[in-house]
Amino acid sequence: MIKLYGLRMSNYYSLTKALLIEKALDFEEVKKAPSQKEDFLMLSPMGKMPAIEVDGVYLSESIAIAGYLERLQPQPALLPNDALHAAKVMELVCHLKLDVELVARRLLPEVLFKQPVSEETKAAVKADLAKGMKAVERLFVGAPYAAGDQLTLADFYTFYCFGLSSGMVKAIYDEDLLDGYPAIQNVLALMAEHPSVKRVETEKSAK
Ligand SMILES: N[C@@H](CCC(=O)N[C@@H](CS)C(=O)NCC(=O)O)C(=O)O
């Protein structure tokens, strides 16, 4: 059975859990806080959650885990059959992750841990986010899903990347990151009702 390590509060832990549920795979959640200690670095070399364990082998990075799950359990498919369409989905995932979520994450110390972020960083984050949002907008199909008419990995990344990013933007700039992005808002609404995501979010609040 697959073991999933991390904490339910984490967006990438939640995303990975949703994928395991989506693929109807047996898994066990192991509550473990991320750290730079050797026992956690063995699971995840940057000390970040989530990580999974399969037959004594550890695997970190949600994209790597998603790729593994897709091959392990091809149905329901979360990537299009066509190689180029599948690559376009991954391209969108990369921009969601690297140019939106990872950028907004720089605000996290102030929002979650009351460690002030400098005005310089706030200005840089704002400028970088504007670029990231334009990149995502160019690739986002939203008809009705992120990459078109098929539910894909990009929908899960949209839900879990914007959950964190919108919260950071609201808290720091008092702005709505998704204002003017109705297609993204629609995917967020769709995914909030999607059974695997709904289960993850319900269990998160149950602790
Ligand atoms: N690129 C990683 C990012 C994982 C990540 O950022 N995890 C955060 C929680 S959502 C974490 O473990 N943070 C703790 C830390 O950085 O010390 C992935 O996609 O899995």
Q: Closest by alpha carbon to 2, among 129, 17, 15? A: 17
Ligand 1 atom at minimum distance from 13 CA: 10
Give the pLDDT confidence score for residue 134 in this predicted structure. Answer: 98
Which residue(s) pair with 52 in the sheet? Answer: 4, 59
Ligand 1 atom at minimum distance from 6 CA: 12
CA 49 to ligand 1 centroid distance, Å: 5
CA 111 to ligand 1 centroid distance, Å: 16
CA 6, CA 27: separation in Å to the nearest integer?
13
List Cβ<8 Å contacts ≥24 apart for 50-53: 50/4, 50/5, 50/6, 50/10, 50/12, 50/13, 50/16, 50/17, 51/4, 51/5, 51/6, 52/2, 52/3, 52/4, 52/5, 52/16, 52/27, 53/2, 53/3, 53/5
Give the pLDDT confidence score for residue 94 in this predicted structure. Answer: 98
Which residue's CA is the closest to the ligand 1 atom numbered 6?
A: 48
CA 82 to ligand 1 centroid distance, Å: 30
Straight-line distance from the first to the last Cα atom of the chain, in angstroms, rounded to the nearest whole number = 22
Is this model's pTM higher than 0.95 or not?
Answer: yes
Six token digits for residue 122: 């706030």
CA 13, CA 93: separation in Å to the nearest integer?
16
Q: What is the pLDDT along the chain (207 residues), one digit of tens a residue?
A: 999 999 999 999 999 999 999 999 999 999 999 999 999 999 999 999 999 999 999 999 999 999 999 999 999 999 999 999 999 999 999 999 999 999 999 999 999 998 999 999 999 999 999 999 999 999 999 999 999 999 999 999 999 999 999 999 999 999 999 999 999 999 999 999 999 999 999 999 875
Q: Assign domain 83-194 to a CATH class.
A: mainly alpha
Give the pLDDT confidence score for residue 207 in this predicted structure. Answer: 58
Rounded CA Rg of the chain: 17
Residue 196 in contact with ligand 1 by CB distance below 6 A: no
CA 90, CA 153: separation in Å to the nearest integer?
8
Residue carrying structure tokens 């730079």: 36
CA 28 to ligand 1 centroid distance, Å: 20
Q: Domain spanning 2-76 has what CATH number?
A: 3.40.30.10
Listed by start position, the domains of the chain span 2-76, 83-194
- Among 5, 9, 12, 59, residue to substitute to test ligand 1 (most atoms within 8 Å of Cβ): 12
CA 154, CA 173: separation in Å to the nearest integer?
26
- Among 49, 164, 200, residue to substitute to test ligand 1 (most atoms within 8 Å of Cβ): 49
Q: Tally Cβ neighbours within 10 Å of residue 59.
A: 17
CA 76 to ligand 1 centroid distance, Å: 26
User: Is 182 buried (19+), middle (13-18) or exposed (0-12) by CB count in 10 A?
Assistant: exposed
Give the pLDDT confidence score for residue 205 in this predicted structure. Answer: 85
Residue carrying structure tokens 């339910």: 8
Ligand 1 atom at minimum distance from 16 CA: 20
